[in-house]
């Protein structure tokens, strides 16, 4: 009997449909049961330039434990589905949004020093979320909520116009390379969105240790019709006593960087 020379039928080929992007498993699977979702609004795949790089970083045992245990009570996934009732979430306290709290040490200190203000602290950084939850619990703080996801989605989809008593952006990623400048958070488009969510008279407080970014911040904030500088001289502000040194700031100071604060008020009109 002669053997058939016909090759065996090959396995059926699956051709991916156009735009059928399947994100890698680590971006979609929750690592902490009942904890933060990896990308709650799917914003990492939105066709938009983001101010952060999605990354998976090491979470310590303590941070993971805090995420599992405390997320259900103090955490909030930014899924973009509905407008948050800030009054209900913070028992009627005025609410300040902090964008990019990093490891959250400064956030916890500010919340402890001012229990009459609620802090809605947002970041995409999972270890930092766990760290801040643990710090808040240790100090018995009840005026912090930790939001997980992109601050742009939070502002755009989940915060009502005029609902914020203030906004803090401390040491946003400086994106020093020219080709990355478009990723910087403080840009005219962001300021228009931020202004719409701030109550008239509320202050946007930015700080950076990256000189060219400080200059850019001053330029776009000064030019923006919805903001006015709280400094009569139209320049940078000294660090106010209520802002503690942040972790990122400490690293900048160690490198000899100069730090600039900017405090701009949402105009009343």
* Active site amino acids: 173
Minimum Å distance from CB 52 to ligand SAM? 4
| Of the residues 101, 175, 210, 227, which one makes contact with ligand SAM according to CB under 6 A | 101
Task: Name which of residues 59 to 78 contact ligand SAM (CB under 6 A).
Answer: none
Minimum Å distance from CB 116 to ligand SAM? 22
According to the binding rule CB under 6 A, does residue 122 interact with ligand SAM? yes
| Of the residues 46, 114, 173, 228, which one makes contact with ligand SAM according to CB under 6 A | 173
According to the binding rule CB under 6 A, does residue 127 interact with ligand SAM? no
Report how many residues bind ligand SAM under the rule CB under 6 A.
23
CB 206 within 8 Å of CB 216 = no
Burial of 9 (0-12, 13-18, 19+ CB in 10 A): exposed
According to the binding rule CB under 6 A, does residue 157 interact with ligand SAM? no
The interface region with ligand SAM, picked from 56-64, 84-92, 100-108, 212-220 by CB under 6 A, is 100-108
Nearer to ligand SAM, 102 or 118 (CB): 102
| Of the residues 36, 93, 125, 262, which one makes contact with ligand SAM according to CB under 6 A | 125
| Of the residues 71, 171, 190, 213, which one makes contact with ligand SAM according to CB under 6 A | 171
According to the binding rule CB under 6 A, does residue 193 interact with ligand SAM? no
Q: Which of 254, 100, 245, 266 is nearest to 169 (CA)?
A: 100
| Of the residues 39, 79, 249, 261, which one makes contact with ligand SAM according to CB under 6 A | 249
According to the binding rule CB under 6 A, does residue 252 interact with ligand SAM? no
According to the binding rule CB under 6 A, does residue 145 interact with ligand SAM? no
CB 205 within 8 Å of CB 262 = yes
Site string (15-34) toward ligand SAM, x via CB under 6 A: --------------------
According to the binding rule CB under 6 A, does residue 190 interact with ligand SAM? no
According to the binding rule CB under 6 A, does residue 36 interact with ligand SAM? no
3-state secondary structure the chain: CCCCCCCCCCCCCCCCCCCCCCCCHHHHCCCCCCCCCCCCCCHHHCCCCCCCCCCCCCCCHHHHHHHHHHHHHHEEECCCCCCCCHHHHCCCCCEEEEECCCCCHHHHHHHHHCCCCEEEEEECCHHHHHHHHHHHHHCCCCCEEEEECCHHHHHHHHCCCCCEEEEEEECCCCCCCHHHHHHCCCCHHHHHHHHHHEEEEEEEEEEECCHHHHHHHHHHHHHCCCEEECCCCCCCECCCCCCCCCHHHHHHHHCCCCCEEEEEEECCC
Nearer to ligand SAM, 112 or 228 (CB): 112
| Of the residues 95, 96, 124, 221, which one makes contact with ligand SAM according to CB under 6 A | 124
CA dihedral sign of residues 63, 116, 79, 267: negative
Residues that bind ligand SAM (CB under 6 A): 51-52, 99-102, 122-125, 128, 150-152, 170-173, 185, 246-249
């Amino acid at each position: 009997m002669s053997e058939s020379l016909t090759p065996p039928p090959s396995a059926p080929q699956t051709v991916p449909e156009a735009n059928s992007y399947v994100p890698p498993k680590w971006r979609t699977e929750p690592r902490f049961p009942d904890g933060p979702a990896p990308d709650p609004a799917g914003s990492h795949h939105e066709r938009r330039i983001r101010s952060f790089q999605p990354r998976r970083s090491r979470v310590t045992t303590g941070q993971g434990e805090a995420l599992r245990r405390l997320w259900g009570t103090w955490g909030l996934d930014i899924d973009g589905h509905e407008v948050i009732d800030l009054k209900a979430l913070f028992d009627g306290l005025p609410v300040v949004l902090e964008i990019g709290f990093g490891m959250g040490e400064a956030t916890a200190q500010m919340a402890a020093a001012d229990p009459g203000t609620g802090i809605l602290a947002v970041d995409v950084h999972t270890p930092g979320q766990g760290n801040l939850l643990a710090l808040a619990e240790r100090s018995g703080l009840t005026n912090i909520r930790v939001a997980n996801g992109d601050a742009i989605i939070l502002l755009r989809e989940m915060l009502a116009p005029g609902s914020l008593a203030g906004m803090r952006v401390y040491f946003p990623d400086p994106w020093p390379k020219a080709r990355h400048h478009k990723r910087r958070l403080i840009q005219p488009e962001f300021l228009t969105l931020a202004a719409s969510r701030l109550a008239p008279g509320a202050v946007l407080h930015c700080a950076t240790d990256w000189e060219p970014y400080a200059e850019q911040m001053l330029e776009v904030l000064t030019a923006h019709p919805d903001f006015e500088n709280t400094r009569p001289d139209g320049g940078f502000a000294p660090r106010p006593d209520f802002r503690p040194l942040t972790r990122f700031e400490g690293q900048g100071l160690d490198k000899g960087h100069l730090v600039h604060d900017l405090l701009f008020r949402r105009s009343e009109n």
